[in-house]
Amino acid sequence: MKQDIIKQAPIGIFDSGYGGLTILSDIRRVLPQYDYIYLGDNARAPYGTRSFEIVYRFTLEAVQYLFDQGCQLVILACNTASAKALRSIQQKDLPHIDPNRRVLGVIRPTVEALSSITQNGEIGLLGTPGTINSGSYTAEVAKLYPQYNVYGQPCPMWVPLIENNETNNEGAHYFVKKYTDALMSQNENIDTVILGCTHYPLLYPLIRQHLPSQVKLLSQGALVADSLKDYLERHPEMEQRCSQGGSCTYLTTESETKFTEAATRFLNDTITARQIELG
């Protein structure tokens, strides 16, 4: 009997820049056996202040590029892209491109985790202007936990600080205090704060320092990694199409030297990147 040969490929991980590396680290910790291709669109970051149409177009170009490399499954390790492009790509583009491939985001797994963390359902959300203004978190929380309240605070200066390695100086302290104070002034009873941007874990120590100590601060990496593990267990047809060599290839749209230096710092590991062009 003729057996279909299953084509296997790495899992694609996409972000506008370095932020998705925080998700990649946790995914590789939980699922070290798979191969990965990380793509950072650093030349066009930040996405957080860009319009819906632009974020959608850039994200689709990146997904298409990863599909062209053979990826069967792509994770948008970026809240802005998940908020502004994921639904359109899933509903409008995938059916034409290839209905068997999948693109998943980071918002749903984050929201799902809330019920085991919050005591009073008063949820703070720190994110890019794009993520906050899209209302995606509020809509997702309303679906799962209609009794919760979400207070969103845009933090437009944080991604530029992180992309430029300016995370531990007076300027960083100033802007972290500015946005955390603005968030807590919306409701002093907020008991759980979501870091709703994959870049923000790189500012975690400062954010922790400026938030009241009783507030729980939620990073997404572990949540997304556990959710991907669960997804692959529930979808053996996709799991079989993910190659298992434990490797990771790093691609960037900016200079590879710059990416290599920064990623090595963020990951605490020496990596080499290759420059590619999108669009």
Taking contact as CB under 6 A, which single stretch among the options 24-32, 93-101, 182-190, 197-205 is the one that binds ligand DGL?
197-205
From 57-65, 192-200, 240-248, 252-260, give the range in contact with ligand DGL by CB under 6 A. Answer: 192-200
CA dist 223 and 221 (Å) reads: 5
Look up residue 48 and give its amino acid.
Answer: G
Distance of CA 13 to the CA centre of its chain: 9
Q: Which stretch binds ligand DGL (CB under 6 A): 4-12, 179-187, 193-201, 269-277?
A: 193-201
Q: Which is nearer to ligand DGL, 45 or 123 (CB)?
A: 45
By CB under 6 A, name the one of 10, 40, 46, 124 that touches ligand DGL. 46
- Written as one letter, the residue type at 122 is E
The active-site residue, picked from 71, 155, 197, 248, is 197
Is-catalytic flag, 78? yes
| Cα–Cα dist 275/206, whole Å | 32
Q: List helix spans (H) across the chain.
A: 20-30, 52-68, 79-84, 86-88, 94-97, 107-112, 129-134, 136-144, 158-163, 170-184, 204-210, 221-234, 236-239, 256-267
Q: Among residues 42, 72, 198, 252, which is the contact residue for ligand DGL, using CB under 6 A?
A: 198
User: Taking the complex as a whole, how short is the minimal distance between the CB of residue 218 and ligand DGL, in angstroms?
Assistant: 13
Contact 17, 25 (CB under 8 A): no
Which x/- pattern, by CB under 6 A, does the window 111-140 give for ligand DGL? -----------------x--x---------
Is 224 a binding residue for ligand DGL by CB under 6 A? The answer is no
Q: How far is CA 146 from the centre of its chain?
A: 24
CA-CA distance, 193 to 39, in Å (whole number)?
28
Site for ligand DGL in 160-179 (CB under 6 A): none
Of 37, 78, 107, 262, the one binding ligand DGL by CB under 6 A: 78
In angstroms, give the least distance from the CB of 161 to ligand DGL: 11
Binding residues for ligand DGL, total number by CB under 6 A: 17
Q: 250: Cβ–Cβ under 8 A, 6 or more apart, which residues?
A: 38, 40, 259, 260, 263, 271, 272, 273, 274
Q: In the complex with ligand DGL, which residue's Cβ is closer, 10 or 196?
A: 196
197 has catalytic annotation: yes
Task: Count other Cβ atoms within 10 Å, centred on residue 111.
Answer: 25
Q: Kindly state the tokens that stand for 139.
A: 């809509």
Q: 91 and 103 in contact (C-beta within 8 Å)?
A: no
Within positions 1 to 30, which residues make up the interface with ligand DGL, using CB under 6 A? 15-17, 19
Decide whether 242 or 267 has the Cβ nearer to ligand DGL. Answer: 267
Catalytic residues: 78, 197
Which positions lie near ligand DGL, rule CB under 6 A? 15-17, 19, 45-48, 78-80, 128, 131, 159, 197-199
